[in-house]
Amino acid sequence: MAVRRNPYFILGLDYGTTERDLINRGLSRASRRVRSQPSAPFDVTDCTWAADELTRAPTDPAADVRTFRVPADPTVFERTTDIPVPPPRNLPRSTGPSDQALTRLRAEILADICGTGLDEALSSWFDATGLGS
């Protein structure tokens, strides 16, 4: 399976950027960013690939279906109608209160699985919260 990379995302550019000057600036910024961050998800090779992809991009970015894009304009998600929407409300609880004995048993099983260090930590937590008795 081929890795799908978004050249606009890698270079930090708006979708549809075709100006060579903006692509070069994006390449420069992205290259500096990945060199200064050892744990960056991309490397300089990815940045170079992205710049090359954008310089060879179709003349009409709106016709490009190869690149996944998400609108960066937050106003897209704003309501545009005047339909009243009631505020959220809490529903009544449909379950009973949690069983402290069952909670303690689950914690003990987890402590057995994970080791004794966790058992000591859980014991002190139960003592501090009052659930240990």
CA atoms within 13 A on the CB side of 40: 17
**What single DSSP character describes residue 63?**
G
A 10 A CB-CB count for 11 gives: 26
pLDDT, tens only, 53-96? 888 866 676 676 766 666 666 676 666 677 777 777 888 877 76
pLDDT in tens, 4-51: 678 888 898 888 888 899 999 999 999 999 999 888 888 999 999 999
Q: What is the pLDDT of residues 97-126, one digit of tens each?
A: 667 777 777 777 777 777 656 667 767 777
SS3 51: helix
Distance CA 102, CA 92 (A): 23
